[in-house]
Amino acid sequence: MSEERLVDIESRIAFQEDTIQELNKTVYQQQKQIQRLEAICESLVEHIRELRDTAPQGNVAQERPPHY
């Protein structure tokens, strides 16, 4: 194998390793963001359930306000 070809292969491997590292960082950051968003969604669902459970029963949307 010629010296030039060996250097070319080593350069390509080094570039691929850098690319893999960058992709790994990106995937890790995306996973952290997904986990944060899932936690926010769960919190919102829980908050909506609490509001639903504490809301007055009946169809509030069709009731007239007292000032009518």
CA 35 to chain centre: 6
Whether 57 maps to a domain, the answer reads no
Q: The domain containing residue 25 runs over which residues?
A: 3-50
pLDDT at 64: 74
Average confidence score pLDDT of the chain: 91
Render each residue's pLDDT in the chain as its tens digit; 68 residues: 799 999 999 999 999 999 999 999 999 999 999 999 999 999 999 999 999 989 877 665 666 777 76
Residue whose entry in the numeric block shows the structure tokens 């691929």: 16
Whether 64 maps to a domain, the answer reads no
| 58 dihedral zone (left: phi>0; alpha: psi -120 to 50; beta) | left
Comparing C-alpha atoms, which of 25, 24, 43 is closest to residue 35?
Answer: 43
Whether 58 maps to a domain, the answer reads no
pLDDT-above-70 percentage for the chain: 90
d(CA 57, CA 64): 15
For residue 63, give the 3-state DSSP assignment. coil
Whether 61 maps to a domain, the answer reads no
Whether 38 maps to a domain, the answer reads yes
What total number of domains does the chain contain? 1
Whether 60 maps to a domain, the answer reads no
